[in-house]
Structure 1
Amino acid sequence: MKTNDEFERYQKAQKKVKELKGFYRHLLVFVIVMIGLIYINLKYTPEVLWFIWPMIGSIVPLVFHGAKISNSFPFFNKDWEEKKIKQFMEEEKTHNNKFE
């Protein structure tokens, strides 16, 4: 049993690392694109700071991605989904047993 538990923990840890890696990639792309947009904005149209709008639009998904990784929103993670599935299955089972 212990090896099975260790294997499950390993898989969960591996999945978390993959998700974290995806977030870091998202963050890196955000930083590179924003540096480019800021450069273009300040070089060619410094009188209008338009880079702020794409920055705001890009920060929102980045924040949600970070919140998902850090489990700030419990309804985003798989554990919550599994608990709800089990809950609904139990409710269905109880409901069906009432009429037998």
Structure 2
Amino acid sequence: MEIMEDDKIKLKRAKKRLHELKGFYWHLAAYIGVNCFITLSTIIGRMSNGDSFMDTLNFGSFAIWFFWGIGLFFHGLKVFSYNPIFSKQWEERQIQRYIEKDRKEAEKFK
């Protein structure tokens, strides 16, 4: 009976992981599609107003790529479970530190 419950938990976790992965890929597709459309529209619009192609290539044309890219980068870090600051080893060290602190506090009152 316990094995079946464990399998259900694993299945639920796998479905959640798949949902997060699909969400990231949709975010990536929207990032590429929307940014291409906005960039091309901006370049074409500026060129139709008399600017040369080189005049259209500035930070303003690509700012949305940059700032949305930062959000996409952090979304990817979350989805692919990469957290260099709060890693599993860091969590274990913190847990051990709190357990040791609680043990020392409990010994004071014995």
Please provide the CA RMSD for this pair: 2.6
Cα deviation, 1:36-70, whole Å, max 9, x if unaligned, reads 11121221114222321111111111111111111
Query: Rg larger in 1 or in 2?
Result: 2
TM-score of the superposition, structure 2-length normalised? 0.70
Amino acid at match of 2:20: E
Identity of aligned residues (%): 23
What's the counterpart of residue 73 of structure 2? Answer: 63
Higher RCO (C-alpha under 8 Å, 6+ residues apart): 2
Cα separation, 1, equivalents of 2:9 and 2:92: 17
93 and 11 in structure 1: CA distance in 2 versus 1, 3 angstrom threshold: farther
Counting matched residue pairs gives 98
Partners of 2:35 and 2:4 in 1: CA distance: 46
User: How far apart, in 2, do the equivalents of 1:2 and 1:85 lie?
Assistant: 31
Point out where structure 2 has 5 or more consecutive residues left out of the alignment.
47-52
With normalisation by structure 1, the TM-score equals 0.76
Question: What one-letter code is carried by the residue in structure 1 that aligns with 2:107?
Answer: K
Query: What letter is aligned with 2:65?
Result: M
Identify unmatched segments of 5+ residues in structure 1.
none
Which of 60, 83, 103 aligns to 1:73? It is 83
Matched, 1:94 2:64: no
Name the CA shift for 1:80/1:57 in 2 (closer, same or farther; >3 Å).
same
